[in-house]
């Protein structure tokens, strides 16, 4: 079975990607397995650019077929922020970033708290230098307080319209049916199969 490198340092993402790609005809390996410890550059202006940059960097380094995910939360009231900067919106932990978003939305009524999770998945093949991308989105609203303890990142404040609870209140199975990442990977999966 050919190897497929999943180029992410984010544990929460890695677990979801492994679940969503279960049973594809590839052996999934992670950055640790591939011996890649570098800080992977992420300097693009779009999710597409960053996903390609990450997949290409790790793919060239390892010589393996490589998949990377660039994702983030776009909040309408904040004109799309934190967007591509979701992971570095403020220094600190996921919890600090959640609190920053809640602070910026303090007093903003429900109807103005619409948000969308975006994931772009890039697949780089070092044999011919080719790259493909797929995008998935998930619609919701930013909750007034964090709810639930599952998932990662902004999950506790993302009330997901598809499942009518926050992503952190959903089981992994529920989130993986409707998430931005699931929607992007569903397309990648068809290609990989
Ligand atoms: P890699 O680049 O190594 O994959 P990262 O965490 O830096 O890991 P991104 O640059 O793509 O990944 O940043 C994604 C940000 O968006 C990060 O802050 C996540 O917590 C958040 N995010 C993405 N998908 C999410 C999800 O399904 N649930 C909650 N937060 C999510």
- Which domains are present in the chain? 3-192 (3.90.950.10)
Distance 154 CA to ligand 1 centre (A): 9
Please provide the average confidence, as pLDDT, over all residues in the chain.
Answer: 98
pLDDT at 86: 97
Residues 6+ apart with CB under 8 A from 11: 152
Distance 189 CA to ligand 1 centre (A): 20
pLDDT in tens, 116-139: 999 999 999 999 999 999 999 999
Please tell me if the CB atom of residue 74 comes closer than 6 angstroms to any atom of ligand 1: no
Average pLDDT estimate for 47-56: 98
Whether the predicted model's global pTM rises above the 0.95 cut: yes
Average pLDDT estimate for 28-37: 98
Active site members: 70
* CA gap 73, 114 in Å, rounded: 11
What's the full length of the chain, in residues?
Answer: 193
pLDDT in tens, 64-83: 999 999 999 999 999 999 99
pLDDT at 20: 98
pLDDT at 15: 98
Extract long-range pairs of 148-152: CB within 8 Å, 24+ residues apart. 150/175, 151/12, 151/175, 152/10, 152/11, 152/12, 152/13, 152/94
């Amino acid at each position: 079975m050919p190897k497929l490198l999943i180029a992410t340092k984010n544990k929460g993402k890695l677990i979801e990607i492994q679940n969503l790609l279960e049973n594809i005809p590839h052996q999934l390996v992670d950055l640790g397995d591939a011996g890649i410890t570098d800080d992977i550059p992420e300097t693009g202006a779009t999710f597409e650019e960053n996903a390609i940059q990450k997949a290409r960097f790790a793919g060239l380094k390892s010589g393996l077929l490589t998949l990377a995910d660039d994702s983030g939360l776009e909040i309408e009231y904040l004109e799309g922020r934190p967007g591509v900067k979701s992971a570095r919106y403020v220094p600190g932990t996921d919890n600090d970033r959640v609190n920053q978003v809640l602070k910026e939305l303090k007093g903003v009524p429900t109807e103005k708290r619409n948000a969308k999770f975006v994931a772009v998945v890039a697949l780089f093949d070092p044999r011919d230098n080719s790259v493909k991308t797929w995008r998935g989105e998930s619609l919701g609203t930013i909750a007034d307080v964090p709810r639930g303890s599952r998932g990662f990142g902004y999950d506790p404040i993302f009330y997901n319209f598809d499942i009518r609870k926050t992503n952190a209140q959903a089981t992994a199975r529920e989130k993986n049916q409707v998430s931005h990442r699931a929607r992007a990977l569903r397309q990648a999966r068809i290609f990989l199969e």
